[in-house]
Amino acid sequence: MELRPVGIFQGMSDADLKKVARTMREIRHPKGAEVMARGAQGVGFMVILEGEAEVKTVDGRSRKLGPGDHFGEMALLDAEGRSASVMARTDLVAAAVTEWGFKPFLMEHPTIAYRLLETLSRRLREAEASHGTNAKRSGRS
C-alpha cells in the first residue's frame, strides 16, 4: 500500500510514509456502500487513498471527503458510537487502523495526531457557527 503526502499525511517524508503504511491496512468499499452507520460502534479509523466519501451529519448536512481526508476518529476517541454516517460516493480505497491500534498509532505518529486535532478544532468552530445560525432562526439564544 502506497501512501501519498496529502491531507493528513501532508509534509511527511517517504521514509515516514512507509513506516505509517506498515501500521495500516488497505480496505475497499464499492460505490454506494455504507462505510459507517451513525450510532454503530467504531472499529476503525480511515484515510482515503482513492475515491470519494460522503459524511451525513446528525444535523442533516453532508460533506464530501477525498484523497488524504480522514474519518472515523470520533467513535474511537470517545467510545460513544459513530457520530455520523459515511457512504462511498465512488469506489473507495482507504488505509485503515483498527480501534485497538489507534492509540498506539497516534503515539507513534504525533504529526498525524496534531493534524487530527486541527481538523477537530475546525469542525467544532463550524458546528458552533451553524448552531448560532440555527439558534437565531428558531428564536433561541
- Which residues sit at the interface with ligand CMP, rule CB under 6 A? 36, 42, 55, 57, 63, 71-75, 82-84, 86, 123
Q: How far is the CB of 66 from ligand CMP (least distance, A)?
A: 12
102's torsion region: left (phi>0), alpha (psi -120 to 50) or beta?
A: alpha
Q: Which is nearer to ligand CMP, 14 or 126 (CB)?
A: 126
Residue of 48, 37, 45, 46 whose CA lies nearest to 92: 48
Provide φ and ψ at 46, rounded to 5°.
-130, 145
For residues 11, 14, 20, 26, the Cα torsion angle rounded to the nearest 10 degrees is: 110
The b-or-e profile of 61-73 (16+ CB within 10 A means b, else e) is: eeeebebbbbbbb
Q: How far is the CB of 76 from ligand CMP (least distance, A)?
A: 6
Q: How far is the CB of 39 from ligand CMP (least distance, A)?
A: 10
Q: How far is the CB of 119 from ligand CMP (least distance, A)?
A: 8
Q: Which is nearer to ligand CMP, 26 or 78 (CB)?
A: 78
What is the spatial distance between Cα 127 and Cα 141, in angstroms, rounded to a whole number? 15
Q: Which is nearer to ligand CMP, 14 or 78 (CB)?
A: 78
Q: Which is nearer to ligand CMP, 42 or 51 (CB)?
A: 42
Q: How far is the CB of 5 from ligand CMP (least distance, A)?
A: 21
Q: Which is nearer to ligand CMP, 19 or 57 (CB)?
A: 57
C-beta separation of 72 from 29 below 8 A = no
